[in-house]
Amino acid sequence: MSELRVRFAPSPTGMLHVGGARTALFNWLHARNRRGTFVLRIEDTDRARSTEESIQAIYEGMRWLGLDWDEGPDVGGPYGPYLQSERRPEQIEAAQRLLEAARAYRCYCTPEDLERRRAARLEGGESQVGYDGTCRKEIGKPARDEPFAIRLLAPDEGEIVWEDLCRGEISFQAETLEDFVIVRSDGSPTYNFAAVVDDAAMKITDVLRGDDHISNTPRQILAYRALELPAPRFGHVPMILGPDGTRLSKRHGATSVTAYREQGILPDALFNFLALLGWAYDDSRELFTREELIEVFTLEKLGKTPSTFNQEKLEWMNGVYMAALPIEEKVAIARAHLESKDLLRHLPDEDAVRRLVEALGERFKMPHDVIDYADFLFTDRIVPDEEGRQRAAQFPEGIALLPELASRLESLERFEGEQAEEALRGLAKEKGRKAGDLIHPSRIALTGKKHGLSIFDVMLLLGRERTIRRLRAFASEAAGD
Ligand code: GLU
């Protein structure tokens, strides 16, 4: 069996989109699972839209996700350049061969000619208004001194069929395919032709790509036939949908790998998440390391229906990967996030970020959680929300004890570890009350909310001084002072 060779062939016209990243990832997993070769080819033939910045963003996104390429820009390989624009001589040469073999012809029709004839046919009631074959009479003839495009001579009847790696048999009627342009009048090869010449030159065995390319595939198969080259296997993976059921796009918010990275998604989490967008191991298992995915990934388990991008699930998964990080890394993530929002200055001391991360525990899924769960740290004035107010009102006796609690906390030798907790429980016991009678109003006094982190963690995070001040202020406000 010949070696498996796959490629990821992005057009560098923007950021690396999650859809593209998923295509790259499936190809990469397929190659790694089968000990094949993963090729990166930058399809930069659209000179007007391709940018160097986008090429760099693609490299960066792939490197960040750990999708290393065996052949391609930077690493090279045996099959010439891996930037499509640099492969043009080979593509033009292939078109030349087709002209000589009478499998392609020069077309001198101008865009205006084409448009006029198309309009006339539409008016005459025709529905198939592809190229009408006017220049087929040029087949085998030498070039005239006029601008021309090159068209592939497509069959008028029959079927183009392939066994799709993802969807099973797909067929197109030849009559729906026109003699399509393979080289434009400005001398540039079209995508459908350049991709075929390049895939053949690079000995690609499996073309795995998004299903938006399905309609290109019969044309590409015709090009392989004309060039007398074996076509690769094709597989078209279903698109990714946004939560509203339409194709995932910028309208749905962040869609580039860079944007998720900036949100604080970890590369291993995004990798795991993307692998499950259109592929499943079984009905239940969701967590896989990279190595496990390489081990179990097979094309048979690719889904046939579109998958929905679920941000909540991504954040949940990020939490799983976050929990597995060493504490130092989590602290660094939390610190960087607080710093970026200029909130570090609200924390009493250097060690406070670590204590915050420890207090969050498994709640720390995304960098913004350090703010969402600990907003009370970053303000000087607590205004209880409605729910908090109602909760506090249930504990008038507890509220009355808050000044006493504050004094006891004030006189503690040290304000760390279990000491605050012991002081609170001791006071409750002495006064014949349940600890909860003090805990609930304390929470409202310190955070303004009914739910949240452990109250003793809250106290330590705030530090003694702010804790005492808030307890006293709340009690005196409740007493109507
Ligand atoms: N350059 C094409 C794109 O970015 C990919 C084509 C292919 O995979 O054949 O959509």
Burial of 131 by CB count in 10 Å (0-12 exposed, 13-18 middle, 19+ buried)?
A: buried
Residue with tokens 């066994």: 163
Task: For residue 25, report the distance from its CA to the centre of ligand 1, in Å.
Answer: 14
Task: For residue 454, report the distance from its CA to the centre of ligand 1, in Å.
Answer: 51
pLDDT in tens, 220-233: 999 999 999 999 99
**How far apart are the C-alpha atoms of 272 and 254, rounded to whole Å?**
18
**How far apart are the C-alpha atoms of 330 and 202, rounded to whole Å?**
43
Closest atom of ligand 1 relative to the 8 alpha carbon: 8
Residue 1: pLDDT above 90?
no
**How far apart are the C-alpha atoms of 188 and 166, rounded to whole Å?**
32
Looking at the fold, whether 404 and 432 belong to one and the same domain comes out as yes
Residue 206: pLDDT above 70?
yes
Query: Would you state the pLDDT for residue 126?
Result: 86
Cβ atoms within 10 Å of 53's Cβ, excluding its own: 11
Closest atom of ligand 1 relative to the 20 alpha carbon: 4
Closest atom of ligand 1 relative to the 209 alpha carbon: 8
> Does the CB atom of residue 11 touch ligand 1 within 6 A?
yes
Closest atom of ligand 1 relative to the 210 alpha carbon: 8
The enclosing H or E element of 170 equals: strand 168-173
Domain boundary among 323, 341, 365: 323
pLDDT in tens, 272-320: 999 999 999 999 999 999 999 999 999 999 998 999 999 999 999 999 9
Query: Would you state the pLDDT for residue 307?
Result: 93
**How far apart are the C-alpha atoms of 279 and 81, rounded to whole Å?**
32
Task: For residue 281, report the distance from its CA to the centre of ligand 1, in Å.
Answer: 26
Looking at the fold, whether 151 and 268 belong to one and the same domain comes out as no
Task: For residue 236, report the distance from its CA to the centre of ligand 1, in Å.
Answer: 11
HSE toward the beta carbon, residue 62, CA cutoff 13 A: 27
Looking at the fold, whether 196 and 286 belong to one and the same domain comes out as no
Q: 74 lies in a domain?
A: no
**How far apart are the C-alpha atoms of 266 and 254, rounded to whole Å?**
15
Handedness of CA 165, 169, 172, 173 (dihedral sign): positive
Query: Would you state the pLDDT for residue 254?
Result: 82
Percentage, residues of the chain above pLDDT 90: 91
Query: Would you state the pLDDT for residue 204?
Result: 98
Closest atom of ligand 1 relative to the 220 alpha carbon: 9
> Does the CB atom of residue 43 touch ligand 1 within 6 A?
yes
- Indicate the pTM of the whole model: 0.91
Pick the catalytic residue: 141, 250, 301, 313? 250
Name beta bridge partners: 160: 172
Residue 365: pLDDT above 90?
yes
Nearest CA to ligand 1 atom 7: 9
Q: 21 lies in a domain?
A: no
Residue 46: pLDDT above 90?
no
Q: 391 lies in a domain?
A: yes
Residue 380: pLDDT above 90?
no
Determine the average pLDDT of the residues in 5-22.
96
Determine the average pLDDT of the residues in 119-138.
91
pLDDT in tens, 153-176: 999 999 999 999 999 999 999 999
**How far apart are the C-alpha atoms of 293 and 439, rounded to whole Å?**
47
- Helices 435-447 and 455-462: crossing angle in degrees, nearest 10, is 40
SS3 150: strand
First to last CA, the chain: 86
Looking at the fold, whether 114 and 221 belong to one and the same domain comes out as yes
**Contact by Cβ (8 Å): 449, 458:** no
> Does the CB atom of residue 7 touch ligand 1 within 6 A?
no
Looking at the fold, whether 354 and 403 belong to one and the same domain comes out as no
Domain count, the chain: 4
**Contact by Cβ (8 Å): 445, 471:** yes
**How far apart are the C-alpha atoms of 448 and 425, rounded to whole Å?**
21
**Contact by Cβ (8 Å): 476, 404:** no
Closest atom of ligand 1 relative to the 7 alpha carbon: 8
Beta-strand pair 149-152/104-107: antiparallel
> Does the CB atom of residue 160 touch ligand 1 within 6 A?
no
Looking at the fold, whether 161 and 287 belong to one and the same domain comes out as no
**138 alpha-carbon distance from chain centroid:** 48
Domain boundary among 338, 353, 374: 374
Tell me which of 18, 42, 43 to substitute to probe ligand 1's pocket, judged by most ligand atoms within 8 Å of the beta carbon: 43
Task: For residue 208, report the distance from its CA to the centre of ligand 1, in Å.
Answer: 10
Domain containing 418 — which CATH number?
Answer: 1.10.10.350
Contacts (Cβ under 8 Å, ≥6 apart) of 80: 86, 87, 90, 201
pLDDT band at residue 251 using 50, 70 and 90 as cut-offs = confident
250 given a catalytic annotation: yes
Poorest-pLDDT segment among 27-31, 195-199, 302-306: 302-306
Query: Would you state the pLDDT for residue 350?
Result: 77
Looking at the fold, whether 407 and 276 belong to one and the same domain comes out as no
Q: 478 lies in a domain?
A: yes
Tell me which of 82, 85, 191 to substitute to probe ligand 1's pocket, judged by most ligand atoms within 8 Å of the beta carbon: 191
- Helices 455-462 and 352-360: crossing angle in degrees, nearest 10, is 170
Determine the average pLDDT of the residues in 127-132.
85
224: alpha, beta or left? (left if phi > 0; alpha if psi -120 to 50): alpha
Task: For residue 14, report the distance from its CA to the centre of ligand 1, in Å.
Answer: 13
> Does the CB atom of residue 9 touch ligand 1 within 6 A?
yes
Query: Would you state the pLDDT for residue 267?
Result: 98
Handedness of CA 244, 247, 252, 258 (dihedral sign): positive
Task: For residue 21, report the distance from its CA to the centre of ligand 1, in Å.
Answer: 12
> Does the CB atom of residue 209 touch ligand 1 within 6 A?
yes
Name beta bridge partners: 210: 237
Query: Would you state the pLDDT for residue 47?
Result: 86
**Contact by Cβ (8 Å): 405, 471:** yes
Report the mean per-residue pLDDT for the chain. Answer: 95
Domain containing 167 — which CATH number?
Answer: 3.40.50.620
Percentage, residues of the chain above pLDDT 70: 99
**How far apart are the C-alpha atoms of 40 and 24, rounded to whole Å?**
9
Domain containing 264 — which CATH number?
Answer: 1.10.1160.10
Looking at the fold, whether 103 and 150 belong to one and the same domain comes out as yes
Looking at the fold, whether 95 and 229 belong to one and the same domain comes out as yes
Structure tokens at 68: 């290393």
Looking at the fold, whether 435 and 468 belong to one and the same domain comes out as yes
> Does the CB atom of residue 195 touch ligand 1 within 6 A?
yes
Integer-rounded Cα radius of gyration of the chain: 32
Residue 2: pLDDT above 80?
no
Sheet holding 233-237, edge to edge: 37-40, 5-8, 206-210, 233-237
Q: 143 lies in a domain?
A: yes
CA-closest candidate to residue 29, choices 286, 274, 285: 274
Task: For residue 1, report the distance from its CA to the centre of ligand 1, in Å.
Answer: 27
Tell me which of 5, 8, 11, 30 to substitute to probe ligand 1's pocket, judged by most ligand atoms within 8 Å of the beta carbon: 11
Determine the average pLDDT of the residues in 378-389.
92
> Does the CB atom of residue 10 touch ligand 1 within 6 A?
yes
CA-closest candidate to residue 299, choices 212, 231, 237, 217: 237
Tell me which of 209, 220, 236, 247 to substitute to probe ligand 1's pocket, judged by most ligand atoms within 8 Å of the beta carbon: 209
Contacts (Cβ under 8 Å, ≥6 apart) of 351: none
pLDDT in tens, 55-103: 999 999 999 999 999 999 989 999 999 999 999 999 999 999 999 999 9
Looking at the fold, whether 393 and 429 belong to one and the same domain comes out as yes
Looking at the fold, whether 188 and 254 belong to one and the same domain comes out as no
Encoded amino acid at 306, one letter? P
Determine the average pLDDT of the residues in 314-340.
97
Domain assignment of residue 280, given as a range:
250-323
Beta-strand pair 5-8/37-40: parallel
CA-closest candidate to residue 449, choices 402, 375, 384: 384
Q: 414 lies in a domain?
A: yes
Cα separation values, 98 from 79, 151, 368, Å: 22, 10, 58
Q: 442 lies in a domain?
A: yes
Residue 449: pLDDT above 70?
yes
Q: 31 lies in a domain?
A: no
CA-closest candidate to residue 4, choices 167, 179, 206, 171: 206
Closest atom of ligand 1 relative to the 199 alpha carbon: 9
Task: For residue 114, report the distance from its CA to the centre of ligand 1, in Å.
Answer: 27
Query: Would you state the pLDDT for residue 208?
Result: 98
> Does the CB atom of residue 85 touch ligand 1 within 6 A?
no
**Contact by Cβ (8 Å): 57, 24:** no
DSSP per residue, 338-354: HHHTT-GGGSSSTTHHH
